[in-house]
Copies of this chain bind each other. A is one copy, B any other.
Amino acid sequence: MLTIGQLAEYAGVTVRAVRHYHQIGLLPEPERDASGYRRYGGMAVVSLIKIRILANAGVPLSQIGQLLQADEPAFAEAVARIDGQLHDEIERLEASRKQIAQLGAGDSLVLPAEVVAYIDRLRELGVSGRMLEGERDGWILVMACWPDRVAEWIPDKFAQLEDPRVVRLYLVLSELLDSDAGGDDDGDDGDDPRLVEAADIMADLLEQAYAAGAADFGNEAQDSLPDLLDSLSLEADPRSQRMIDLMRERGWNGWHRIERLADPPR
């Protein structure tokens, strides 16, 4: 007859696990010897091994008892169900593997291929790592808010890259992000000339789009996405606030949610 430790070893579980199975009534308490030790027979080994097979398959302990009592057809049905769940779980883990692989590669994350291609194109154009991270985070946000619209927007974004001013804008912002957040935070003695250049280009582009009749600049009426993108920029780099101010000076309100200010800024 086996002690609890031997039983546990045969079945490949801990002693505590065996005691736990007793507590919840999954494994019947065996008889005790003279000194109060539990003594197990062969049946306990067999039961415990079956319990572990089901538990390893993810079956809750609360169901294993009934399962081992069930008759042939009921048991076979349950086994088929468990097998299906295992299959699903394996697929979930395989999808998860792909996701973290992307996460490790630095880009894409959960992003669709078009967006990855767009970010890759930016990299080719010389946009820096920090800026690419910002782009990626922005697209993650876009995917979370409007997953269905991304496919429509991407071609426009590619087309815009044909304009050298757009590329220049990306590169200037790149440089800005890479230059560390700049000595003191509060001293506003003169703007970084690159920030000014970025604002100038931006205003220039918007002016042209406005003249061409682009009424809402892709801002959907009640959607929070542009606001979220604004807040993302602000959280990523406080200098975004200054950028927004500069845009306001040039007659534009907001950065991602864009409105033409009718009057010059007050």
Contacts and interface: CB of A to CB of B under 8 A. Distances in A.
Number of copies: 2
Interface stretch (A19-27, A88-96, A166-174, A212-220): A88-96
B43 A232 contact: yes
A103 B228 contact: no
The 3 closest A-B CB pairs, nearest first, are A42-B232, A41-B231, A79-B104
20 contacts: A1-B231, A41-B232, A41-B234, A42-B141, A42-B232, A43-B137, A43-B232, A49-B140, A49-B144, A50-B103, A53-B99, A53-B100, A53-B103, A57-B97, A76-B104, A79-B100, A86-B96, A86-B97, A90-B93, A90-B97
A42 B229 contact: yes
Among A100, A109, A137, the one with the most B-chain Cβ atoms within 10 Å of its Cβ is: A100
B83 A104 contact: yes
Contacts of A210: none
Interface string A69-92: 000100110011011001101101
A79 B96 CA distance: 12
Nearest to A6: B224
A60 to B, nearest CB: 14
Interface in A202-235: 224, 227-235
Chain A interface, >50% SS class? helix
Instruction: Give chain A's interface residue range (CB within 8 Å of chain B).
Output: 35 or more
Contacts of A137: 42-43, 46
A164 to B, nearest CB: 29
Given A2-B228, A109-B53, A141 B46 contact: yes
A10 interface: yes
Interface of A: 1-2, 6, 10-11, 41-43, 45-46, 49-50, 53-54, 56-58, 72, 75-76, 79-80, 82-83, 86-87, 89-90, 92-94, 96-97, 99-101, 103-104, 106, 109-110, 137-138, 140-141, 144-145, 224, 227-236
Contacts of A227: 1
B100 A83 contact: yes
A43 B93 contact: no
Contact of A43 (B45, B83, B97, B235): B235
Contacts of A138: 42
Contacts of A72: 106
A99 B57 contact: yes
Given A2-B224, A42-B230, A83-B97, 11 more contacts: A6-B224, A42-B141, A43-B232, A43-B235, A46-B141, A53-B109, A57-B96, A79-B100, A80-B104, A90-B93, A90-B94
